[in-house]
């Protein structure tokens, strides 16, 4: 009777070989789906997806949805559209530093509010961003080394987000509604200047000037209208006086009748 052990050994070897081939095929298929320069890994027990220096011009579409840490730093991404990260319900850290990001649409970070705890947007091209773009985010945010316009909009944004410790000094006025603030740290500037109150005062003054302008136009029109009527009445009286007395009485009666 033939021995069973060699048969079992061959079967086990074939099964292990088949499993290895299937696993390798799965890995190759997954790798092929990722953008060039991107790869998944595991760091400190967290699922990590790295796309650093991958020459990306947009946020990749095929990021594994169980990713905990996402590195998109040192690329060429210019803009973050609405729902850019909506399929990443487990994301804890997001690094977008050293890109060309100049615009962040409201809702770009929608879906990350409850779990994201670190967001790096440093060293980009951000000039002005609405506070609504960061609504409901609980993450600590790094906004340093961007060419910020120091105004009420930036002041509202800084009040909305929680900054990474030590990063506030890197938020510097590249331009400002007041020239003397250029080159200064924004938090140093707003210690003495309330941009939003200044904006409100400017708006109020503009409204008063506009209302005064309309009021002056109305008064000018009324004065012109009254003077024009007075001139017409004076000319009509002079005309009546120039008529023969009988015709004048007839004209006056006609005028009175028309008025009545």
| pLDDT one-digit tens code per residue, 18-42 | 555 444 444 444 444 788 899 999 9
Do 93 and 68 sit in the same domain of this protein? Answer: yes
Do 180 and 60 sit in the same domain of this protein? Answer: yes
Do 217 and 130 sit in the same domain of this protein? Answer: no
Do 73 and 128 sit in the same domain of this protein? Answer: yes
Task: For 46, list phi and psi in degrees, rounded to 5.
Answer: -110, 135
Encoding tokens for residue 118?
Answer: 């670190």
Does residue 240 lie in a domain region?
Answer: no
Please give the sequence-ordered ranges of beta strands (E in DSSP) within the chain, or none if there are none. Answer: 39-43, 46-50, 69-71, 79-80, 93-95, 103-104, 118-120, 140-142, 148-150, 162-163, 173-176
- ∠ at Cα 106 (108, 78), nearest 5°? 60
Averaged confidence pLDDT in the chain: 80
Q: What tens digit of pLDDT does each residue of 142-183 get?
A: 999 999 999 999 999 999 999 999 999 999 999 998 889 999
Do 154 and 47 sit in the same domain of this protein? Answer: yes
Number of domains in the chain: 2
- Any idea which of 140-149, 197-206, 224-233 has the lowest mean pLDDT? 197-206
Neighbour-count burial of 105, counting CB atoms closer than 10 A to its CB (0-12 exposed, 13-18 middle, 19+ buried): middle
Q: What tens digit of pLDDT does each residue of 3-14 get?
A: 545 544 555 555
Whether residue 90 has pLDDT greater than 50: yes
Do 160 and 178 sit in the same domain of this protein? Answer: yes
Question: In three state form, how does the secondary structure of 144-159 look?
Answer: CCCCEEECHHHHHHHH
User: In this structure, what CATH number is given to the domain that contains residue 40?
Assistant: 3.80.10.10
Whether residue 226 has pLDDT greater than 80: no
Do 199 and 71 sit in the same domain of this protein? Answer: no
Mean pLDDT calculated for residue range 82-95: 95
Q: What is the pLDDT of residue 228?
A: 66
Does residue 242 lie in a domain region?
Answer: no
Does residue 111 lie in a domain region?
Answer: yes
**Distance, C-alpha 7 to centroid of its chain:** 67
Query: Residue 215: pLDDT band by 50, 70, 90 thresholds?
Result: low
């Amino acid at each position: 009777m033939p021995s069973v052990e060699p048969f079992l050994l061959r079967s086990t070897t074939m099964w292990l070989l088949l499993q290895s081939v299937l696993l390798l095929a799965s890995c190759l298929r997954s790798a092929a789906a990722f953008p060039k320069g991107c790869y998944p890994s595991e760091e400190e027990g967290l699922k990590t997806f790295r796309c650093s220096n991958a020459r990306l011009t947009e946020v990749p579409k095929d990021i594994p949805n169980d990713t905990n840490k996402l590195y998109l730093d040192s690329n060429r991404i210019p803009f973050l559209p609405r729902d850019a990260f909506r399929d990443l319900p487990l994301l804890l850290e997001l690094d977008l530093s050293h890109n060309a990001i100049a615009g962040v649409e409201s809702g770009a970070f929608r879906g990350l509010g409850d779990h994201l705890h670190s967001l790096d947007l440093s060293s980009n091209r951000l000039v002005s961003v609405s506070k609504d773009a960061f609504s409901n985010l609980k993450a600590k945010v790094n906004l340093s080394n961007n060419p910020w316009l120091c105004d009420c909009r930036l002041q509202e944004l800084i009040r909305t987000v929680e900054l990474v410790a030590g990063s506030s000094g890197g938020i510097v006025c590249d331009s400002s509604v007041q020239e003397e603030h250029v080159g200064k740290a924004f938090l140093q500037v707003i210690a003495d200047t309330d941009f939003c109150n200044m904006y409100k005062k400017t708006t109020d003054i503009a409204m008063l000037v506009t209302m005064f302008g309309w009021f002056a136009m109305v008064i000018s029109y009324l004065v012109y209208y009254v003077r024009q009527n007075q001139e017409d009445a004076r000319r009509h009286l002079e005309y009546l006086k120039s008529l023969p007395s009988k015709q004048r009485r007839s004209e006056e009666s006609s005028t009175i009748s028309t008025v009545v």
